[in-house]
Amino acid sequence: MGLLTGKTALVTGATRGIGRAIALKYASEGADVAFTYRSQHEAAQSLVAEIEAMGVRAKAYTSDAASFEDAHKVVEDVKAEFGKIDVLVNNAGITKDGLMMRMDEAQWDAVIDTNLKSAFNFIHACTPIMARQRGGSIISMSSVVGVSGNAGQCNYSASKAGLIGLTKSIAKEMGPRGIRANCIAPGFIATDMTGALPENVRQEWEKQIPMRRGGTPEDVANVALFLASDLAGYVTGQVINCCGGMNC
């Protein structure tokens, strides 16, 4: 038996990078996995097949995570299909970087809506289900820049810092119902998002990391596995840095 055998997890934005690694890790530990995506249909179907090959159930749902109505519809459909939701991973996220003086309103709104409002949407939809179950784990993907800030990323940093405040508040509100809420704050992780950076920028990032390497999506997925499992049964309201020591 795996650490998540008998559990159902919902992961937002799971067709690539960290979300994909978490979905696969959960499936490998026995969880049925529902996940959302916005436009990458082929990648979504490939992930469904990969998960089902592990002997668990999987289903992909098209969703605009920033839409309150979409989020509630997805959660209703997942509950109808799987019967319950034990774990919610708020992973959907984008960047639209730029210096404050050059950033327009659309850049700000898009990042806040996708990264922060989406978490509110899915938490709002899932907590009644988890409350009736008298248990659940909510994991939101923050960032080290949500803790320390970063020049040129005021919108992204604000969205990730907002997730921390949201998580700590949910932990206090929902703890009496047996629902835990935690954040993971990844550092420099090798994904499509960081892969778009110039080589000299990546090298400078790595120099700041005590472990002298970027992290992998699997590194983050391992932390997400712990927080989803009963091993973390007394862990709530926390921000766990997964950054190779760059934010220690």
Closest to 172 in 3D by CA, of 180, 163, 164: 180
Task: Give pLDDT, residue 134.
Answer: 97
List the domain range (segments joined by +) for residue 109. Answer: 8-242
Distances (CA, A) of 242 to 108, 144, 185: 26, 8, 6
Query: Residue 200: inside a domain, yes or no?
Result: yes
Helix (H, G, I), strand (E, B) or coil at 104: coil
pLDDT of residue 186: 96
1 found inside a domain: no
The parts of the chain modelled with pLDDT lower than 50 are none
- pLDDT for the residue numbered 183: 98
Q: How far apart are CA 23 and CA 170, in angstroms?
A: 23
27 assigned to some structural domain? yes
Closest CA to 7 of 33, 25, 42: 33
Q: How many domains does the chain have?
A: 1
Would you say residue 228 lies in a domain?
Answer: yes
pLDDT tens-digit map of 84-103: 999 999 999 998 999 999 99
The rounded percent of the chain whose pLDDT value lies above 70 is 98
Is residue 33 domain-resident? Answer: yes
| Residue carrying the six token digits 């119902």 | 177
Q: What is the C-alpha to C-alpha distance for residues 29 and 42, in angstroms, rounded to an integer? A: 24
Does residue 153 lie in a domain region? yes
Tell me if residue 37 is catalytic: no
- Domain with residue 110: its CATH number is 3.40.50.720
Confirm whether 203 is domain-assigned.
yes
Query: Is residue 32 within 8 Å of 58, Cβ to Cβ?
Result: yes
Question: How many CB atoms are closer than 10 A to CB 164?
Answer: 19
Condensed to tens digits (0 to 9), the pLDDT of residues 108-138 reads 999 999 999 999 999 999 999 999 999 999 9
Annotated catalytic residue, options 26, 37, 156, 234: 156
| 98, β-bridge pairs | 153
- Would you say the pTM of this structure is higher than 0.85? yes
Coil, strand, or helix at residue 50?
A: helix
